[in-house]
């Protein structure tokens, strides 16, 4: 469906702007009026990572007048494979600062607003209220639901994207004209069911494919041209090179944007709503969590332990804790891993950060291994505190 332009046009374009945006100006659907609307627009990118990188670069090049960047992370070398707004010299630098510098280099006519902070329930409404449109490049469910809820409550549209390995998705959620994210996903998936890109990986160029689609949708919304992805979910398979879209209908029973909404303000705790780990995992980990340094001490003392890495084989190939046996988490969930565990040794589980090993720990404890433990912080903690010479990812 066609929608009216999201913003009013600016008064004029300067000579420099006419020269810079000439290839837009000669497109009849964009023209002078459309470019003036872009100049007058204020767009916030949530995240300066895989999706935020191409989105920010193309929004800047397109002439969006004000670009907001919210990200509290720092650039890591493992980011550079896909987060192309950052370079080698930016490693260790705040992502928001690094991204802002790149945006200014691409287009010095753009005003950049830096929000070097985590997006929380305390600041999301205030930050969002200063923008016309939100581009969501987050990679976790808690933030996605918070972004959606804040956008609906403020009556703002946002462009959503998601990537994993070779697959990408994109849509526009605008409750005033169609469904919201909760209409598509009323409940978050069970903890641990959907791995993040940090756990499962992502083809770097996929970020450009989905990020550019997000910018395309943003331009259409801001200028009022074309048929935006409102009420449609675009699905991209990079291996098969296939695009398809699925209709997404507004749910009249949606708790947020339905006829009788029960969610009328932000939730107190989106992490709890999305369940960072299950209740069973949290209970199992309580009192049974050790540090990487404690594991190193157990190894050095020659204690009778059996160390299990519950990550995936490709992760194990990148970096592993010496002496650990690889048994992926899926084998614990289907029960096949239990026969591989020795009865006469203390079981020590670990993963990348501690979430997956906590889920496996719940299975192990319920199977009778009452003294089993897991390593809080996982491999990341081992690399940081025990052996910094090992690669991180």
**In sequence order, what are the residues at sequence separation of 6 or more whose Cβ sits closer than 8 angstroms to the Cβ of residue 267?**
121, 145, 146, 149, 273
Spatial distance between the Cα atoms of 63 and 24, rounded to a whole number of angstroms: 10
Task: Give the pLDDT of residue 381.
Answer: 92
pLDDT score at 65: 98
Which residue in 132, 117, 106, 120 sits closest to 7, CA to CA? 132
- Give the SS3 label for residue 68: strand
- Per-residue pLDDT at 245: 94
- Going by C-beta distance under 8 Å and a sequence separation of 6 or more, which residues neighbour residue 379? 309, 311, 319, 320, 321, 350, 351, 352, 353
The residues pairing with 135 across neighbouring beta strands, listed in sequence order, are 45, 159
Pairing state between β 66-70 and 232-237: unpaired
- In the beta sheet, which residues pair with residue 237? 167, 242
State yes or no: is 274 an active-site residue: no
The whole-number pLDDT of residue 355 equals 86
Single out the residue of 191, 198, 386, 364 nearest to residue 285, CA to CA. 364
Residue 185, C-beta contacts closer than 8 angstroms, at least 6 positions apart: none
Residue 232's closest CA among 244, 247, 218, 242? 247
User: Coil, strand, or helix at residue 362?
Assistant: helix
CA distance 206 to 49: 13
- Domains located in the chain, CATH noted: 15-274 (3.40.50.720), 279-386 (3.40.250.10)
Please confirm, yes or no, whether 207 is among the known catalytic residues: no
Distance CA 263, CA 82 (A): 36
The single residue of 45, 180, 183, 197 carrying the catalytic annotation is: 197
- Helix H or strand E encompassing 222: helix 204-223
User: Are residues 37 and 5 in contact, defined by beta-carbon separation less than 8 angstroms?
Assistant: yes
Q: Given 3-state DSSP classes, what are the helix, strand and coil percentages for the chain, each rounded to the nearest 5?
A: 40, 15, 45
The torsion region of residue 326 among left (phi > 0), alpha (psi -120 to 50) and beta comes to beta
Question: Angle at CA 202, nearest 5°, toward 222 and 246?
Answer: 50
Q: Which of 125, 185, 117, 177 is nearest to 150 (CA)?
A: 125
Closest CA to 255 of 157, 186, 305: 186
Q: How far apart are CA 200 and CA 133, in angstroms?
A: 30
**Residue carrying structure tokens 């050095």:** 300
Whats the size of the chain, residue-wise? Answer: 393
What distance in Å separates the CA atoms of residue 128 and residue 161, rounded to the nearest whole number? 18
CA dist 84 and 55 (Å) reads 10
Mean pLDDT per 10-residue section of the chain, whose length is 393 residues: 92 97 97 98 97 98 98 95 97 98 98 96 97 95 96 98 96 97 88 66 94 98 97 97 96 95 92 76 90 96 97 90 95 94 96 90 95 93 93 81
**Can you tell me whether residue 373 is helix, strand or coil?**
strand
In terms of C-beta density within 10 A (0-12 exposed, 13-18 middle, 19 or more buried), how is residue 330 classed?
Answer: middle
d(Cα 75, Cα 379) in Å, to the nearest integer? 19
């Amino acid at each position: 469906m066609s929608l009216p332009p999201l913003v009013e046009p600016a008064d004029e374009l300067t000579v420099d702007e006419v020269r810079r945006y000439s290839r837009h100006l000669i497109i009849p659907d964009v023209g002078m009026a459309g470019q003036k609307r872009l100049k007058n627009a204020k767009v916030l990118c949530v995240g300066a990572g895989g999706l935020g990188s191409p989105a920010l670069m193309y929004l800047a090049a397109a002439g969006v007048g004000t670009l907001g960047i919210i990200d509290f992370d720092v650039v890591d070398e493992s980011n550079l494979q896909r987060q192309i707004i950052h370079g080698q010299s930016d490693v260790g630098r705040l992502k928001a600062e690094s991204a802002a510098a790149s945006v200014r280099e691409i287009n010095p006519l753009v005003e950049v607003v830096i929000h070097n902070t985590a997006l929380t329930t305390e600041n999301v409404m205030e930050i969002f209220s200063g923008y016309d449109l939100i581009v969501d490049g987050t990679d976790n469910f808690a933030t996605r639901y918070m972004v959606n809820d804040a956008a609906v409550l403020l009556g703002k549209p946002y462009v959503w994207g998601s990537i994993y390995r070779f697959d990408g998705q994109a849509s526009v959620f605008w409750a005033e004209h169609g469904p919201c994210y909760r209409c598509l996903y009323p409940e978050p998936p069970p903890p641990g069911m959907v791995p993040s890109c940090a756990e499962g990986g992502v083809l770097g160029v996929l970020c450009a494919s989905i990020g550019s689609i997000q910018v395309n949708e943003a331009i259409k919304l801001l200028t009022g041209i074309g048929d935006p992805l409102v009420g449609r979910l675009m699905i991209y398979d990079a291996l098969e090179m296939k695009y398809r879209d699925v209709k997404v209908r507004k749910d009249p029973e949606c708790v947020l944007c339905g006829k009788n909404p029960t969610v009328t303000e932000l939730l107190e705790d989106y992490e709890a709503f999305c369940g960072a780990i299950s209740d069973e995992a949290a209970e199992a980990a309580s009192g049974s969590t050790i540090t990487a340094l404690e594991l190193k001490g157990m190894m050095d003392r020659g204690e009778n332990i059996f160390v299990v890495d519950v990550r995936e084989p490709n992760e194990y190939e990148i970096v592993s804790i010496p002496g650990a046996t690889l048994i992926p988490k899926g084998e614990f969930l289907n029960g096949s891993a239990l026969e591989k565990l020795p009865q006469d040794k203390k079981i020590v589980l670990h993963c990348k950060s501690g979430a997956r090993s906590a889920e496996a720990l719940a299975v192990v404890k319920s199977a009778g291994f009452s003294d089993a433990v897991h390593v809080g912080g996982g491999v990341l903690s081992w690399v940081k505190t025990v052996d910094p010479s090992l690669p991180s990812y």
